[in-house]
Copies of this chain bind each other. A is one copy, B any other.
Amino acid sequence: MSYFDAASAAPLHPVARQALLASLDEGWADPARLYKEGRRARLLLDAAREAAAEAVGCRPDELVFTPSGTAAVHSGIAGALAGRRRTGRHLIVSAVEHSSVLHTAEVHRDGGGTVTEVPVDRTGAVRPAEFAEALRPDTALACLQSANHEVGTLQPVAEAAGACRAAGVPLLVDAAQSLGWGPVEGDWSLLAASAHKWGGPSGVGLLVVRKGVRFAPQGPRDERESGRAPGFENLPAIVAAAASLRAVRAEAAQEAARLRELTERIRARVPALVPDVEVVGDPERRLPGVVTFSCLYVDGETVLHELDRAGFSVSSGSSCTSSTLTPSHVLRAMGVLSEGNVRVSLPPGTTEEDVERFLAVLPGVVAGVREKLGAPVSRTETVTEERDEALVVDALGRRCPIPVIELAKVIGDVPVGGLVRVLADDEAARLDIPAWCEMRGQEYVGEQPADRGAAYVVRRLS
């Protein structure tokens, strides 16, 4: 088996395992107690905090341990917004933040706050000037991830932090995807991260609040972790989290270079091996181990299933793989194809052989899925007769990628300059039909209301 989904959860680092085992006997008591077992637990907690703070680049008293990265984001945003409530209730987020950030923004909006979602370019990055322009006199907080979790694109955090600092607005950085690779650059104010992303155990997140940042913890009072993370400390796991962060950092430079070379191979060779593929995300400013591509005319769920059968564990931002049947908000914000989406995120230690085997297996998997779905093998150049002004493709009730497959099947029948209307009610079509047009050099005219779903109008250009 090759596990290629490190961006979801990395396997436990050997140092995390050792530290966890070593602290099970010393770290179970309440660190708030004054007796021997409590003092031992307190020493472990203090040492873990110092180690984590050193890796983050902050003071130990600025860092608390939370039960998860999600909890760190929830508490960090809520506390910072409440701390600056007098300034205003405006929150800035990028459109491609992790769902934990966007869901916290939703709660803020539902509670009467205002939220600006800064769009991203086609690589998934915010433009620093656009991020800065979103700042207003009533902005309480801005949030920007250090790197995107679905496509690996690095965000211009240092520039954003500079603009925020100039405006007197704190910037919260969700560093979940990058903290194992190095400290977050720039003059940020708050930071959230998650240990199981860097090979630490689950059950541990980090929340850093720089001295001087106004912060009012929300929810019921609790004395633990400076009042910022209620509940008994998850101690042996905290020790393991801090120890493994140090360990992955020690290996980071070398491992980053190695993984970057491997993902570069995938970036370069997948489009050559598999027809009708779009590799997404920034080719340069990106995480070392992440590469994401979308394949026309296949559904992500079947691809994932077939790759799993072939021994590869990957994830997908396609709508057919999500419980809500909507495509990834990240791919949507980037305006790229979401169907047949595959994210490969290599854990440290991935071998060249694993990657070569993946590249050997992928073309057959995609071809097999396409064949089953009856996707067009290549662009047909049929002689076109005169037809009605707009050909109609009825894909109502059909899930992704069928609407795009049906469109591709008929486009050859449309006279150049002619229109085709695709009726579809799968939410993914709204994203994937324009993306297909862009990939295929056809014109996406727009969306029209329809009795059911919507009609997506395409003009044949070539």
Residues of chain B within 8 A of A20, CB atoms compared? 20, 24
* A220 contact from B28, B100, B219, Cβ within 8 A: B100
**Is A314 an interface residue, CB under 8 A from the partner?**
yes
Residues of chain B within 8 A of A233, CB atoms compared? 202
User: How many whole Å from A224's CB to the nearest CB in chain B?
Assistant: 8
Q: Decide if B1 touches A37 in the complex (CB within 8 Å).
A: yes
* CB closest chain-B residue, reference A107: B220
Q: Decide if A74 touches B219 in the complex (CB within 8 Å).
A: yes
Q: Which of A5, A21, A220 has the most chain B CB within a 10 Å cutoff?
A: A220
Residues of chain B within 8 A of A29, CB atoms compared? 3, 5, 8-9, 11, 313
User: How many whole Å from A325's CB to the nearest CB in chain B?
Assistant: 13
Q: Decide if A232 touches B194 in the complex (CB within 8 Å).
A: yes
**Is A203 an interface residue, CB under 8 A from the partner?**
yes
Please tell me which stretch of A51-59, A234-242, A262-270, A451-459 contacts chain B, meaning at least 4 of its Cβ atoms lie within 8 angstroms of it. Answer: A234-242
* A231 contact from B33, B70, B235, B304, Cβ within 8 A: B70
Residues of chain B within 8 A of A103, CB atoms compared? 220-222
- Given A11-B28, A203-B203, the answer on whether A36 and B232 have CB atoms closer than 8 Å is no
Q: Decide if B24 touches A17 in the complex (CB within 8 Å).
A: yes
Q: Decide if B203 touches A234 in the complex (CB within 8 Å).
A: yes
**Is A104 an interface residue, CB under 8 A from the partner?**
yes
* A106 contact from B104, B201, B221, B321, Cβ within 8 A: B221
Residues of chain B within 8 A of A38, CB atoms compared? 313
Q: Which of A10, A37, A301 has the most chain B CB within a 10 Å cutoff?
A: A37
User: How many whole Å from A287's CB to the nearest CB in chain B?
Assistant: 18
Q: Decide if A107 touches B219 in the complex (CB within 8 Å).
A: yes
Q: Decide if A67 touches B24 in the complex (CB within 8 Å).
A: no
**Is A384 an interface residue, CB under 8 A from the partner?**
no
**Is A344 an interface residue, CB under 8 A from the partner?**
no
Residues of chain B within 8 A of A323, CB atoms compared? 223
Q: Decide if A67 touches B203 in the complex (CB within 8 Å).
A: yes
Q: Decide if A230 touches B74 in the complex (CB within 8 Å).
A: yes
* A222 contact from B70, B231, B237, Cβ within 8 A: B70
Q: Decide if B202 touches A28 in the complex (CB within 8 Å).
A: yes
**Is A155 an interface residue, CB under 8 A from the partner?**
no
Residues of chain B within 8 A of A221, CB atoms compared? 103, 106
Q: Decide if B71 touches A231 in the complex (CB within 8 Å).
A: yes
Residues of chain B within 8 A of A153, CB atoms compared? none
Residues of chain B within 8 A of A307, CB atoms compared? 35
**Is A156 an interface residue, CB under 8 A from the partner?**
no
Residues of chain B within 8 A of A236, CB atoms compared? 201-202
User: How many whole Å from A69's CB to the nearest CB in chain B?
Assistant: 7
**Is A305 an interface residue, CB under 8 A from the partner?**
yes
* CB closest chain-B residue, reference A323: B223
* CB closest chain-B residue, reference A201: B236
**Is A281 an interface residue, CB under 8 A from the partner?**
no
Residues of chain B within 8 A of A46, CB atoms compared? none
Q: Decide if A33 touches B67 in the complex (CB within 8 Å).
A: no
User: How many whole Å from A100's CB to the nearest CB in chain B?
Assistant: 7
* A68 contact from B9, B220, B231, Cβ within 8 A: B231
A-B contact pairs, 27 of them (CB 8 A): A1-B37, A3-B35, A5-B29, A5-B37, A8-B30, A10-B28, A11-B28, A12-B28, A33-B315, A34-B304, A34-B308, A35-B312, A35-B313, A37-B313, A67-B68, A67-B203, A68-B231, A68-B232, A70-B222, A70-B232, A99-B222, A100-B220, A104-B220, A106-B220, A107-B220, A196-B232, A234-B237
| 7 pairs of A and B residues whose beta carbons are closest in the complex | A68-B231, A67-B67, A203-B234, A35-B313, A103-B220, A70-B231, A203-B203
